[in-house]
Structure 1
Amino acid sequence: MVRPPDPAPTDPADRPATYREVFAVAEFRWLWTALLGSVIGDQLARVALAILVFDRTGSAGLSALTYALTFLPDIAGGPLLSGLADRYPRRRVMVSCDAARAVLVALMAIPGAPLWILCVLLVVVQLLSAPFQAARSAMLATVMTGDKFKAATGLSAVTNQTAQLVGFVTGGSLVAALGTSQALVLNAASFAISAVLLQLGVRERPVPIGADPMAKPSWWGSLSAGARLVWNDRKLRYLTALVCVPGFYITVEGLAAPYAAAVGGGPLAVGVLFAANPAGQVVGILLFSRVAPTRRLALMGRLAIASCAPLIFCAFEPGLWTTVALWALSGLSASYLVTAQATFVQDIPDAQRGQAIGLARTALIVSQGIGVLVAGAAADRWQPALVVAAAGVCGVAFAAGAGRGYQRA
């Protein structure tokens, strides 16, 4: 009897990176520690500002507007300021942004500051997040290569989602215990500590050089070149589309409160519904990281579809816990987003990464904002469950097109 040949060994290049390997890189440990402090401080600050405005004005609308101001400036900051990460050394950009935000948030913590001043300071703080995030992502792609970068991106996403979960569960209680001014002081301190950690632990690197070493593109030249690069490259274009799929399943967060009311739940039900999708994403990212890199790329389109498909079953108006399971399943499949974002960054030439990252980040934020606004307006006319289901149907169609386009690019 002839013995069958041994199966071919797994290609080492297709082995998924481990988190142990990621944390073995000293610069990543400093970057991650700085991120951890900042996201915790940010969550506290968002809750503190919303409570502060509501306590002073008694207006739920102004409180919601203040919370929205922690996201809206990114729409302008992404395309307009992210190019700074390509024009100046990236560590310097990150440290400067953190130092400036520490000062601005400390000013916001002064008791009795007029609300209009708080809003102006908040807008400037959020504008600075665009060049910081662009520089951080571009720097991370330099520090980590191959699948280590994807694993590092996944860890960063898990850190952000976990901070969001902690904020949903404990943010109000912590702010109530500390006071709004003290919570803002902690946020300012987190930015200052982040600046120190980045200065001490991350090596300064020169500005990346493009195809023409003598060329120094203007602000508009950098913006238009980044837009052309993304639009003219089919893979980058469809990766951007995949990154925008959250604009459909984000509707579950925007409609959590009315949905909970419709199923007879109270404030606890709202919190559980808010937490379902982020919790699913944390689990999904950790599980998906164990899949071989090439397999992850092949699964992106299917998982993008699966991130929206569970929402369709909300049309049957299931009870609270069935809905929680569906929304968590949506989050579990949304783990594809880490691979899509990391692949996008790695496919961009280093000299243009900052600007391109800013454009993709803006596309994501705009898609989420539009999704929440449209869903909110629709929920004024139809049942929240039907609106969520409709968002699921539209999301499946959009994700199918984006996934098919990427595979054919």
Structure 2
Amino acid sequence: MSKPDESASRPATIRETLANREYAALFTAQAQSSLGDNVARAAVVALVYRQTNSPILSAAAFAVSYLPWLGVGALLAAWAERHPYRRTMIGCDLLRAAIMMVLAAFPGLPTALIILLLFGNALLSPPFDASRSALMPQLLQGERYVTAITLNRTTGQVSLIAGYALGALLASINGSAALLINGLTFIVSAGLIALVIKERQPALKAEEHTNLLREAADGYRVVFSSPVMRAIALVVFCGVCFGVVPEGLAAAWAAHLAGHSDTFGFGVIITAAAAGFVLGSALVTWLLRPQRRVALIRPMAIVTPLALVPALLDPSLPVIVVMTLLAGASLAITLPAGNGLFVQVLPPAYRARAFGVMQSGVHLLQGGAILFTGWLATFYPLPEVVGYFGIAGLGATVLIIAAWPAKATIADAIAANKVRVAATQYAADHSGIDDLSEVTIDLARVPVPPRRRRPSPGPSARREPPMADPAERTVDLTERTAELGGLPPAPPSQPARHS
């Protein structure tokens, strides 16, 4: 494992982040395969519609890529925890390449078979994405990790716009070419990972296997039983639920303004959503100090639904664009900051499963929000639906951030996880140690957040004896043997405080 990022007083640059050779390969693999995915998705939708002239079947071809995250995504993420991440990603890429090549080679396949193959392709996304997410904290720490998250998300937004545009163009010329390109991007991705990424042991050892259902449930238990991770998860879920509405209703909103189907208005709103996310990502990563970034999680979480409320006034297209930009930017500020904090308190053995929990929740809430608001808009005026939905989101967000854990609780969770990671790493480096209760950790080498300075005691106050040199202090992990593979230790009993 690489050393923690010591540049905590400033954001990490793109150059510093990409200096990690393994991450650079992983980023390149993701960027080009993500572009290929979006090219193929647009081409397949056009291909199915051309064959069937059915909006429902073409929509099913588009939506099928999200279905695994709504059902078996958490199970597939738990499965990925059992196997080396590198091997899992290579296998998923090669299988997806084979599926795309079949679709490209036989463009006249029945629609039902095309959708079935697309579903099989989609089933490979959860284990691949979970493995990549769990591997990243092993490659990068601190500010480099936050910059990497922003790079991934920003690249995803850019590839979404560019991929749809290129896919639509190729679909009008040769739809099979788009599928062939996607298959080739998976082969390139597998090659980069095989050549550059080092083999690492799976997070869940063979003797720790139970069954996938129980292991997937452990992922939910870890996330939602921790006050810090639970608070971050709820903020993220609430943000994506309301931040996706302008994008999801873009076509209907543009038609409402023009009185008929309006491709231009639809494109402007969609582009504004992506542009807002890119601008917010740049702001939070490279223009804000790390300490300030975490402090903005709660206020930016409020801004996301608040940006929807002006829809009650039935605004013009320029105002809608500003609202969409604001919602996207505030969501982009919340997500990387929350992700960076989340990974600091997440036990390493649960990274893939926790990612499965988060990603499943994000897809479920995004799809549910779009379907729910779209259904409401068939009975009520669309501006009112969006505006009142924003008010509901504002109330839900205020309740969530009111229960945000105190700074001391967050600091204790981070410190406890650092001890756990250090002990696990020590045991991995000294393979002869089977019982972690025999391990002692030198606290001088485990960074712990500084505590607040207390006021100087009065002359009559009882003085405590000076503490021993930190280099001489050790922690006996006898009582932490069970904890090292499970939940973070509970914080010391103290009155609840909320900052």
Counterpart of 1:257 in structure 2 is 251
* Closer/same/farther in 2, CA of residues 233 and 209 from structure 1, 3 Å limit: same
2:96 is paired with a residue whose SS is helix
Kept in 2, the 8 Å contact 1:40–1:163? The answer is yes
Q: Please state how far the C-alpha of 1:346 moved relative to its aligned partner.
A: 3.4
Counterpart of 1:7 in structure 2 is none
Q: Give the 5 Å matches for 1:291-302.
A: 291-302=288-299
Q: Please state how far the C-alpha of 1:256 moved relative to its aligned partner.
A: 0.9
Structure 2 distance, partners of 1:60, 1:208, is 43
Q: Give the 5 Å matches for 1:327-406.
A: 327-335=324-332, 336-406=334-404
Counterpart of 1:88 in structure 2 is 83
Kept in 2, the 8 Å contact 1:276–1:324? The answer is yes
Counterpart of 2:12 in structure 1 is 17
Kept in 1, the 8 Å contact 2:80–2:127? The answer is yes
Kept in 2, the 8 Å contact 1:311–1:330? The answer is yes
Q: Give the 5 Å matches for 1:236-275.
A: 236-244=229-237, 245-264=239-258, 266-275=262-271
* Closer/same/farther in 2, CA of residues 202 and 52 from structure 1, 3 Å limit: same
Structure 1 distance, partners of 2:275, 2:225, is 36
TM-score by structure 2 length? 0.76
1:279-301 CA distance string (max 9 Å, x none): 10001101111312222111111
Structure 2 distance, partners of 1:384, 1:348, is 40
- What is the aligned counterpart of 2:274 among 278, 284, 292? 278
Kept in 1, the 8 Å contact 2:81–2:202? The answer is yes
Structure 1 distance, partners of 2:130, 2:388, is 33
* Closer/same/farther in 2, CA of residues 165 and 111 from structure 1, 3 Å limit: closer
1:7-33 CA distance string (max 9 Å, x none): xxxx95332222121011111110111
Q: Please state how far the C-alpha of 1:343 moved relative to its aligned partner.
A: 2.6
Q: Please state how far the C-alpha of 1:368 moved relative to its aligned partner.
A: 0.5
- What is the aligned counterpart of 2:180 among 173, 178, 185? 185
Q: Return the letter of the residue paired with 2:96.
A: R
TM-score by structure 1 length? 0.93
Percent identity of paired positions between Structure 1 and Structure 2: 32
Structure 2 distance, partners of 1:346, 1:105, is 37
1:94-116 CA distance string (max 9 Å, x none): 11111111111211222211111
Aligned residue pairs: how many?
Answer: 396
The answer to which of 262-271 and 394-403 deviates more is: 394-403
Counterpart of 1:61 in structure 2 is 56
Instruction: Name the Cα RMSD after superposition.
Output: 1.7
- Segments of structure 2 that go 5 or more residues without pairing to the other structure are 1-5, 410-499
Q: Which consecutive segments of 4 or more residues in structure 1 shift more than 4 A? A: none
Q: Please state how far the C-alpha of 1:81 moved relative to its aligned partner.
A: 0.3
- Segments of structure 1 that go 5 or more residues without pairing to the other structure are 1-10
Structure 2 distance, partners of 1:24, 1:115, is 45
2:34 is paired with a residue whose SS is helix
1:54 is paired with a residue whose SS is helix
Counterpart of 1:144 in structure 2 is 140
Counterpart of 1:4 in structure 2 is none
- The reply on whether 1:79 has 2:74 as its aligned counterpart is yes
Counterpart of 1:317 in structure 2 is 314
- What is the aligned counterpart of 2:213 among 206, 220, 226? 220
Q: Please state how far the C-alpha of 1:229 moved relative to its aligned partner.
A: 0.9
Q: Please state how far the C-alpha of 1:318 moved relative to its aligned partner.
A: 1.2
Q: Give the 5 Å matches for 1:191-206.
A: 191-206=186-201
Q: Please state how far the C-alpha of 1:185 moved relative to its aligned partner.
A: 0.9
Q: Return the letter of the residue paired with 2:393.
A: G
Q: Return the letter of the residue paired with 1:237.
A: R
Structure 2 distance, partners of 1:207, 1:121, is 29
Structure 1 distance, partners of 2:213, 2:315, is 51
Query: Larger radius of gyration, structure 1 or 2?
Result: 2
Q: Please state how far the C-alpha of 1:226 moved relative to its aligned partner.
A: 1.3
Structure 2 distance, partners of 1:230, 1:195, is 31
